[in-house]
Every structure is written in C-alpha cells, then in structure tokens.
Amino acid sequence: MNAFEPDYVPIAMLNALAYCPRRFGYEYLQAEMLINEFVADGQILHSSVDAGGRTWIAGEVQERSVYVFSQRWRITGIVDLLANDQGELCPVEYKRGKLGRWRNDHVQLCAQALCLEEMFACTINQGFIFSWANRRRELVEFDAELRQQTIDVIAQAHTLCQNNQLPAPTTQKAKCRDCSLQPLCLPDEVRHLTTNPNPLSEAND
C-alpha cells in the first residue's frame, strides 16, 4: 500500500490508537466506521458540547468546542470544554460510557493539553474526563508518565500513517468485546487464520 502521511493527525484518532492500533487503522487509515446504538447515543449526547459557545460561571470562563493544534507534534483536534480560571486553562473531555480502566481517554486529553501549552505558552497540570453514564468527572494529572505515553502514541500514529498497513488485532480480548468495530475487524477469525494458515489442507490430511 502507498504511504499516507497527513500534515496533522486528529487527536480523536490518538484515542483510537491508544485503545487498539487496529481500530486506528480501520477508522483513520481506511476511514471505516460502524454506527451501533452505543455510538449513536454518544453522538446525540455529544451534540450539546459540539454546539460551541462561551459561559461564565463564578468568574470562570468556559468555552465549548475549542479548536486546538500543535505544530511540534503535528496533531489537531477539538477540546470539548476549556475552562479558564484567571488564566489557568483546564481541558474537559466528555464521554458517553463509564469511566473505564483503559488509558486511551487520558491520552486524548493529554494531547489536547500539549496543544494548548504550545498555543498559549503555558503549563497545564490537569484536566477532567466527564462521564455521562455515571455523571461524574475524573481528575487527570498530566504527569511525566502520561505525557510520555501520549508522545509515544503520537509518534506511533505518524509511523502507522507512513507504513499504511492495517495492524493485527489486539491481544487484549476484553477490548474486542467492547469495540463497535468487532463485526468488521473479526479479531477471533483473524487470530484463528493466523495460527492456522491452511485450514483446508489440514482438514484433508
């Protein structure tokens, strides 16, 4: 396949990559998306954030749907809500599901912070992930470990774009059970064919 190297990788696709490289391959490299009831519900819930706008709450300015980018990391995306309390910026990411055990949402939020730090020449120490499912926010500290993980995911995204090859299914089967792309990805079938490349010849032996 021909190399595909975009100028900027969408931050939302970093979330897909941190969750599963094969998901990134389908959604970004091949532009495939399956809409099930959970994805559709998430899009409806997210519409209130996507509308944009600015509000003032107890002296804090809150802007919705803020465009951000980084020339250094060549990423771009949208911050769902950006709180500005006397010059201290704090990004907030809204998610449909419950706060999960995977770190992909944290990577997405940290990538937003990297963009904001570059755009406004500041340091952002924390952000929040808001869950519609349990109506609460999780505090996310942008520590050295999360920052490095995010930078590694960004580098991996650019490498996958250059190679333009669909990655193999993840070995973490729990992720497959929760993935809307499972009917397209067929992880179990691919794993079986990978471990048994000639099933017909074996059946005839």
pLDDT digits (tens, 9 = 90+) for 89-138: 999 999 887 777 789 999 999 999 999 999 999 999 999 999 888 888 99
What confidence tier does 86 reach under pLDDT thresholds 50, 70, 90? confident
pLDDT digits (tens, 9 = 90+) for 1-50: 455 567 899 999 999 999 999 999 999 999 887 655 555 544 545 555 55
**Helix/strand/coil (H/E/C) assignment for every residue in 188-204:** HHHHHHHHCCCHHHHHH
Cα 64 to Cα 54: distance, rounded to the nearest angstrom = 6
Cα 109 to Cα 124: distance, rounded to the nearest angstrom = 11
Domain limits, the chain: 9-170
Of 3.40.640.10, 3.90.320.10, 3.40.50.300, 3.30.470.10, which CATH number belongs to 9-170? 3.90.320.10
Residue 156: φ, ψ to 5°: -65, -40
Taking the alpha carbons at both ends of the chain, their separation in whole angstroms is 35
The pTM of the full predicted model, rounded to 2 decimals, is: 0.82
